[in-house]
Structure 1
Amino acid sequence: MAAIGVHFGYTCACVAIFKDGRADVVANDAGDRVTPAVVAYRDTEQIVGIAAKQGRVRNAANTVVKVKQVLGRSFDDPVTQTHKTETKCQVSIDEKPYYEITAGEHPEDVAPEEVAKLIFHKMKETAQSALGSDVTDAVITVPFEFAHAQKRALREAAEAAGFHVLRLIHEPAAALLAYNIGQECSSGKSHVLVYKLGGTSLSVTALQVSGGMFRVLNTHTDHSIGGESFTQALAQHLASEFKRTFKHDVSSNARAMMKLMNGADMAKHSLSSLGSANCFVDSLHDGIDFECNVSRARFELLCSSLFNKSIQPIRALLQETGLSTSNINKVVLCGGSARIPRLQQMIREMFTDVELLMDVSATDILVKEVDESGTEVFTVVLPSGTPLPARRHHTMNGAGKLSSLCLELYQRFVTEQPEKLAKVKKSTGFLPVCWYSAAWVKDGSVHVSCVEQFTGRSEVVTIAAAS
């Protein structure tokens, strides 16, 4: 059995397998290719991932987030002290930090390594589900600036989860390997810029690639900017809209702001592929439900200063390394926030003649239909190489009044026969407007997000692919 790759981030984690000549990040049981690095403690159980993140509003005191920040650090470390003030889960005073968990009958202190172990175990389950067999060997990514103690803590947590850690590799090198950069072992030298904008930090690294070898020329990390910065800006806007509409200021209400952060986070993700997104928060304040539509243009305006701050480290790094934009041969974008269209546009404008590498659909995504003669017809809705996330519309026709809908999606590698991804069935009940949702695991992580405009003769299907 080949080894798998695991990325343990500050806010999310993911696992990849090698398939069809490329690294393929597999989806979890919720159909997402990234899993929130969040652990919630409830009575006698521990919950990892999206359910823990969504339940944080009611269980904040027993929910651990951003545990990577304190792995391998002492309690007196300034980073630990900052983490202590920001987290809702109490951190004990000791030589090493511990989380005070009060969910069960008896309060207990939980070490950060124990929290990380649960997240690694979730990644192990995700990989095993995708491969259909047990997984032990793993290669794990670490930030370039991680000290020896932090690397050791991360390795020990992974081993406690059942992994046999073959190697720890730096995140910039992992990004190049994922895109197969520098593996041709050519004699010439090239320069690659790896731009990683995650949930809580930004790192920009310049590397020299020569003969299959990577040499880090310089790197810059900024923990004051990340995806959460954009979410907070949008959440503050939503709080202002609520105050304008209902005359209530919820900006100092921690519970209400956490709800707005959850809604803003979902809207932010949607705006990477849509021109507008609807944010709905149930019972935000005094039983008042709040709904607000946010356009991509409004989001970009709210975050314009943050986008500029996200770009500045590139110029500083190039100046420090003595390189210009024309010296860079390729730019690799990674991290969830690097999918924001405006940010990608700003980087393209900076590197006008450079190849920009980002997540794309690895296969053609097709819809299967049957024509009037009964012949199966495949229609490509997302061609291979489509930048992700993406969204497409496809109209399906049917005679008479339809009482149910059956949708089959396929994937296809180049000239191979289409392979079924999913089959979605839904009874319409003759409703004038119908909404369906479904998600499944495969290359490109395609999601059928909704079916609308039911007329009895046609359906307009919106298909979204998330990277």
Structure 2
Amino acid sequence: MGKSIGIDLGTTNSVVAFKDATVRVIATGPNNEDLCRSCVAIDKSGSFTVGNAPYKNWRRYAPNIVVSAKRLMGASISDPQVQKMKADKDMYPYGISKMSGGTDESVVVIMNGKEYTPEQISAEILRQLKNDASVKLGGDVTHAVITVPAYFNEKQKSATRKAAELAGLKVQRLLAEPTAAAISYGADKMAADEDKIFLVYDFGGGTFDLSILVASGGNFIESGTGGDRWLGGDDIDRLISEYVLSEAGKANNVDIHKLIEELPERKKYAFQGELKDNVESVKKALSQSESATISIFDQLEDEDGSPIDIEVKLTREKFESMIRPLVQRTLDLIDDLLEKTAYPIDTIDNILLVGGSSCIPLVRKMLCDKYGKDKILSSEKPMLAIAEGAAILSHSLGTEVECPHCGKAIPAGTSECPHCHQSLEAIQQVSVEEGGVQVSHTTKHKSFIQVSDDADNIQYEKIIDENTPLPCEENRKFYTLVENQKIVGVKLFSDAENDQMEKLGTGYFTIPENLPVHSELQFTFSLNEDENMNVRVRVPATGKTTNVVLSRGALDAHCLEAVAPAFDRVMNDPNISDSKKADFVDKLQKVIDTISSCNYSPESSEWQKIEDSLKSASQVATTKDEDIPVQLIIAQIQLENFGRFIKDEDKTAMRRELDRYKNASSPMEKNDAVNKLDDLTEKYGLFTHGFLLNIAGHDQDDPVRANKALVAFNQFMAALNEGNVQRARDILSANEHLIGNINLPATGATTGIGVG
């Protein structure tokens, strides 16, 4: 029987715990340590290595070593904080970029020249914890409660679920870290008639998290959240590093940053690794001692080749003066949360300290000075509290698991989710003993829908407020803007810490019927306990209901974000005829309907095929019929219908030349693109003839021939699927007479017939 665990997937460190008769942290790694560094590296063989070992061997793995991947979960490359990470090569030596084929809403890390999503990196950490737990517990671990910061939005939680899926874990719950901490402090063991209000102060390595919890007899209600996802122990480390380098530069009268940059790559990474180790050691030492010294010898030389040794003494007094503004910010954020939630400080029974940075004496002193010593509670090992709380909840959930499709709680053994009606046959169920912890969640962010596309006057309407009890459902009415509107865009946002709108996702639905302007659209927005957003739209005039597929920032986003610009470009071009516009809209509707009916993962290559269909429809509409070179038609046919059989490099080249032709600034450039397409498509002429056979199979004027052609085409595709190209050629040769005088259709017709 599978076992369930609790996991604190942290920015700096991760912890795994298990509860049976007692709660215990499971030691991980070869040295059996409670804390597993949230660090993933790639060794020379191309294999992943996870945890404390690669971190301690920074010099060996950099730049192919990733830390703080949690900060990138659900983030976008356009986020200013992500750009800061990208620029800080001392802290984050790995590459940070947008996903190839993705939008500015995506982000990937780069190791050994290969792209990895933050979910893939986090999955390696989760997999390591899962495997270590399975060994220590003597049985396969299949399920977990995984903790996330209280401020995590829907995209970030979705990314966490994806990481768990990649690691082979079924998510019982995504639990807010502050709630997990309160459970670990024993708040779940309160008497039935006992009520308390806790403020959880979670100052971790990469994030600062606040939450107000009302606890009553083992039940928890989240009443407000706050914090800063870009504030944590990493920032303290950075301040110490900057101070040490500054003092060393002054002592030796050199530009030490320049010397470091001029080091050979391996020596530079060796220096950075040693500096990191020293900074962490000094930070911990200053919690016990009045001073500590950072010493780095034989790593740097001046321009004359003379050694420059670093030996900088840091007193606790200086250390506290450096970090005081950061600690003060945490107090200011407490005040903001109390004001926002209308909880006076005297109604808070206790402030619970969690996270490694909460161990710093100045943190505790400033909290005690402001709120009173009696209010402050701390455990011996606050860095383990979150995982322990997750383990307690994991144990208490019994046979309840989370639907991987919609995120709602379902009984184990259910074959179909009663909420989203997706099949659950692939889920391996698990049985654990039942307990008594109940957590009532609330929304952490406001949710908005964009109601205007005017770039100069973008307007949003709030659909769900923050601190709304979860799960929740909100019904709203909106209306079509023009007569016979065929396509409706749904763009959802949440509020971010910097008062900017953060995109949650983009989706579309179609209205095949001709409806008058201002026709009613009934939207249902639903959030489950993990704030996973689902959107359902009903058109009363037709009775049609559609579940809107929302983008998640990967290849799906690149596809969905291309819909609106393509639509605007065609429909606002006075040189395009009405018939062409109508044909384009018809094809675009088919693309959107395909998206609505598919269940592709955000990273699936199928999104590229859908985008190819969109580009093809746009190409037809924006190109004069008489000017369309046959090479463009053939390339689009081959990509849309036979893309999976074409080499990746050739597909990329075809798409590049199609785009180059479309955006060419001169006839010479267009001609060059056509010539390159001619060379590329000639390699796959077999597919073009197969496509003509398919057209013959749909000839309504000669049903006998059509039936024979369709049988032959199916045999042709079966041969291709088996990898038997010669058999496919033989089938075409034997049925060449069925093609007869059929010619290639106009480009627009190619999007209507898909294969496989």
Q: Residues 309-328 of structure 1, C-alpha deviation per residue, up to 9 Å, x if partnerless?
A: 23221222222222233211
- Report the counterpart of residue 604 of structure 2 in structure 1: none
2: CA distance between counterparts of 1:251 and 1:207?
Answer: 46
Aligned partner of 1:91: which letter? I
State whether structure 2 residue 152 is matched by structure 1 residue 146. Answer: yes
Aligned residue in 2 for 1:262: 277
Alignment of 1:58-73 (within 5 A): 59-73=61-75
CA distance in 1, matches of 2:4, 2:229: 31
Contact 1:71–1:113 at 8 Å: present in 2 too?
yes
Q: Percent identity?
A: 28
Q: Which residue of 2 aligns with 1:46?
A: 48
What displacement does 1:189 show?
3.0
Q: CA deviation at 1:339?
A: 0.9
Alpha-carbon distance change, 339 to 19 in structure 1, aligned in 2, over 3 angstroms: farther
Write the distance in 2 (CA, Å) between the matches of 1:278 and 1:145. Answer: 37
Residues 368, 376 of structure 2: 8 Å contact kept: yes
Matches within 5 A, 1:33-432: 33-44=34-45, 45-57=47-59, 59-76=61-78, 80-86=82-88, 87-93=92-98, 94=100, 95=102, 96-102=106-112, 107-252=113-258, 253=260, 255=268, 256=271, 259-286=274-301, 287-352=307-372, 354-360=374-380
257-266 vs 186-195, greater mean Cα deviation: 257-266
Q: More strand by proportion, 1 or 2?
A: 1
CA distance in 1: counterparts of 2:21 and 2:81, whole angstroms: 41
Conserved in 2, the CA contact under 8 Å of 1:235 and 1:257?
A: no
TM-superposed CA distance for 1:334, in Å, is: 0.9
**Which of the pair has more CA radius of gyration?**
2
Equivalent AA in structure 2 for residue 37 of structure 1: S
Name the aligned partner's letter for residue 158 of structure 1.
Answer: A
Using the TM superposition, give the Cα deviation of residue 235 of structure 1 relative to its aligned residue in structure 2, in angstroms: 1.5
Corresponding position of 1:6:
7
Shift of residue 6 of structure 1?
0.3
Distance 1:42 1:176 in 2: 39
Structure 2 segments unaligned to the other structure (5+ residues): 262-267, 302-306, 383-756
Q: CA deviation at 1:129?
A: 4.6
Amino acid at match of 1:270: A
Shift in CA distance, 222/74, structure 1 to aligned 2, threshold 3 Å: closer
Change (3 A) 1:24 1:46: closer
Q: C-alpha displacement at 1:174, in angstroms?
A: 0.7
How far apart in 2 are the matches of 1:144 and 1:26?
26
3-state DSSP of counterpart to 1:61: coil
Q: Deviations over 1:115-142 (max 9, x none)?
A: 1111112212332354344322211111
- Post-superposition shift, 1:227? 0.7
Do the aligned partners of 2:3 and 2:139 also contact (CA within 8 Å) in 1? no
What's the CA shift string for 1:194-214, capped at 9, x where partnerless? 001112221221122234322
Residue pair 1:40, 1:48 contacting (<8 A) in 2 also: yes
> Conserved in 1, the CA contact under 8 Å of 2:15 and 2:25?
no
Distance 1:128 1:341, change over 3 A: farther
**2: CA distance, partners of 1:137 / 1:213:** 22
- DSSP-derived class of the 1:190 partner: strand
Aligned length, in residue pairs: 358
The 1-side partners of 2:137 and 2:122 are apart by: 23
Change (3 A) 1:281 1:130: farther
Contact preservation (8 Å) 1:328, 1:354: no
The answer for the alignment partner of 1:462 in structure 2 is none
**Deviation string, structure 1 residues 137-194 (Cα, Å, up to 9, x no partner):** 2111112222333223212322322323222111111111111214335234321000
- Using structure 1 for the length normalisation, give the TM-score: 0.69
**Residues 228, 100 of structure 1: CA spacing in aligned structure 2 closer, same or farther, 3 A cutoff?**
closer
After superposition, what is the alpha-carbon deviation per residue over 1:237-284, rounded to whole angstroms, capped at 9, x for unaligned? 211331233223324535456643432122102222334333222434
Give CA deviations for 1:308-353 in whole Å, capped at 9, x if unaligned.
2232212222222222332111111111111111211221222326
Higher helix share: 2
SS of 2:187's partner is: coil
Q: Please provide the CA RMSD for this pair.
A: 2.7
Report the Cα distance in structure 2 between the residues aligned to 1:178 and 1:137, rounded to whole angstroms: 19
Contact 2:26-2:136 at 8 Å conserved across structures: no
Cα 1:81/1:13, change in 2 over 3 Å? same
Secondary structure in structure 2 of the residue aligned to 1:283: strand
The one-letter code sitting in structure 1 at the alignment partner of 2:94 is C
Which residue identity lines up with residue 249 of structure 1 in the other structure?
D
